[in-house]
A and B are shown apart, each in its own frame.
Chain A
Amino acid sequence: MLKIEDNRAWFLILPVFLLVAFNAVIPLMTVVNYSLQDIFGPGQRAFIGVEWFRETLRDPAIHAAFLRQILFSGLVLAIEIPLGVAIALTLPRGGWKASAAIVLVAIPLLIPFNVVGMIWQVYARPEIGFLGQVVNALGIPFNYTGDPLSAWVTILMMDAWHWTPLVILLAYAGLCSIPEPYYQAARIDGASRWAVFRYIELPKLNGVLTIAFLLRFMDSFMIYTEPYVVTGGGPGSSTTFLSIRLVNMAVGQFDLGPAAAFSLVYFLVILLFSYVFYTILQRAGRA
């Protein structure tokens, strides 16, 4: 068994440990405390047990928001991961063209979330937006303020535009790290382009794609700003995702107890999904 001679390296993680304690653990403890109480104001509270959890778990509006969230995250992953890998495969691997392509691809990632929402809110408007006008001119009715399908299409396109670059950059980094002898061996064996992708590139991308998959899943499962700016959760409640519902409860209605219980259930679901995905992807990688 490997014996550790020097444990002093552990002190180096102490600052991060303290930072996490103040940023995450203490707020999480507070949320747990709030979830079991009815909070009327500073210093005014009453212990009510698990009532808020029962209310949250049985709320049909939260069930609907949860199903919407699952559908949204599923579509985001189904679109962005293959699209990101496909674009990464087409990017040049060296020279000034590679640098220019990476800079261009990364631009959407640099734009703040609320600005992305504003851009797409205007861009997709049927009366003044370029996208809305073009789609309507093609004879396809498109109005994200009145039609749920149009609202979903707009939000999915916006998310793909904003976040596919992250997948592209990760996949590109993975592709650039594959040693040239692998390709030489494939050429000698007369491997087709598909065979090179399937048996060389895809296995080598496993690590970065696991990260991309988890990042995009967690991020899309917690999405708030962009759909809130574009649709405000509408039309009706067709784009009210879990985080929008949560903010409406906590800030709009100031129901801190129910919002805290909802947050904890939300947190546990994300933790569960992430652990399951991580385990499955790690196993696939080992296989």
Chain B
Amino acid sequence: MIDLEWMAWTTPTAVFFACVALLLAGMTLLQIVRPTFERKGFLPIPTTRGDRLFIALMLAAFVHLGFVYATELESFWLPLGLSAALGLIILRRG
């Protein structure tokens, strides 16, 4: 058995990467079933579904960093909810 102790896994990071992997697998399946096409929404550039997901994920990362910078809170449900809401808006209307 390969020893992965050096990678210092924790439950929250394992869950995080599992979610990222599921997201990528889901997007791949969706691409096979319903291929994306470039379109123009409220974002200033024409985007595909993958572009909008990338923008939503980047936005989520910076929302979380802003939250960490500006507050002392340890619970992340608020920035997570905000990121999910913004992400959905970007994916649907961006």
Mark A residues whose CB is within 8 Å of B.
1, 26, 29-30, 32-34, 36-37, 39, 42-43, 45, 47, 49-50, 53-54, 57-58, 265, 268, 271-272, 275, 279, 283
CA–CA, A275 to B52, complex, Å? 12
CB <8 Å contact, B62 and A272: yes
B58 touches A268 (CB 8 A): yes
Q: Indicate the member of B16, B17, B68 with the most A CB atoms within 10 Å.
A: B68
Tell me the complex Cα distance, A90–B17, Å.
Answer: 51
Whether B7 contacts A42 by the Cβ 8 Å rule is: no
Q: Is the CB of B68 within 8 A of A26?
A: no
Partner of B7, one of A29, A53, A265: A29
* Residues B6 and A268 in contact, CB atoms below 8 Å apart: no
Q: Is the CB of A268 within 8 A of B65?
A: yes
> What residues of chain B lie closer than 8 Å to A36, measured between beta carbons?
10, 12-13
Q: How far is the CB of A38 from chain B (nearest CB, A)?
A: 11
Query: Is there contact, CB below 8 Å, between A33 and B8?
Result: yes
In the bound complex, how far is the Cα of B2 from the Cα of A26, in angstroms? 14
Contacts of A47 in B (CB 8 A): 10, 12
| Secondary structure dominating the interface of B | helix
Nearest Cβ in chain A — how far from B14, in angstroms? 9
Q: Are B13 and A42 in contact (CB under 8 A)?
A: no
Listed by A's residue number, 12 A-B pairs whose Cβ atoms lie within 8 Å are: A1-B35, A29-B7, A32-B17, A33-B9, A33-B13, A37-B10, A43-B5, A49-B74, A50-B74, A54-B68, A57-B69, A275-B58
Partner of B8, one of A39, A54, A265, A268: A39
By the criterion CB–CB under 8 Å, are B10 and A33 in contact? yes
The distance from the CB of A2 to the nearest CB of chain B, in whole angstroms, is 9
| Residue B82 is within 8 A (CB to CB) of chain A in the complex | no
Nearest CB in chain A: distance from B46 CB, A: 9
Instruction: Closest A residue to B8 by CB, please name it.
Output: A33
Which residues of B65-82 are within 8 A (CB) of A? 65, 68-69, 74
